[in-house]
Amino acid sequence: MPSFLKLLAVCVLLVPALWAQAGSSTPKKPGEVRFSSDLLDKSIDPCNDFYAYACSKWQAQNPIPSDRPAWGRFNELQERGEYIVRDILEKAAAKNAGRSAYEQKIGDYYASCMDESAVEKAGLKP
C-alpha cells in the first residue's frame, strides 16, 4: 500500500508540471471581462428562453477554442486571473533595485521553480 501512495503522490505532482510545460508559451493579454447589454439578444423573449436571450450573442461571438472542451465567461475570468498572477510573478522575478523584500522572496521562489534546467538537474533530490 505505501508504494501505491508514493506512485499516487508522484502522479499528482507530475500533472501540474506537465500542464505547465504544455502551456509554457507567453500568453497574450486577455481582454476585459465585463457585462455588456449589447450581448443580449433582444429578438428573443426572455420569458420564453432566458438562456438564449442572455447568452446566444456571446456564444456566437466566442466559439469554443480548439484546445478547450468548453468555453464560457467563467473561463474568460479564469484566464484573465491566471494572466494577472503570472504577470505579477514575472515582474517580481525581474532583477530590479526597486523590489521590496517580499517581492524579492516571491520573485526568487518563482524564478527557481521556473528554472527548468536546474529542476531537471536536481531530479528528485529535496
pLDDT in tens, 38-58: 889 999 999 999 999 999 999
Higher pLDDT: 35 or 21? It is 35
Residue 81: φ, ψ to 5°: -60, -45
CB of 40 closer than 8 Å to CB of 55: no
Name the nearest CA neighbour of 107 among 98, 95, 115. Answer: 95
Domain range for 93 is 82-126
Does residue 104 belong to any structural domain of this protein? yes
Q: How many structural domains does the chain have?
A: 2
In a domain, 64, yes or no: yes
> Is there a domain that residue 12 lies in?
no
Residue 77: inside a domain, yes or no? no
| 71-89 per-position pLDDT tens digit | 998 998 999 999 999 999 9
Kindly tell me if the per-residue pLDDT of 18 is higher than 50: no
* pTM confidence score: 0.59
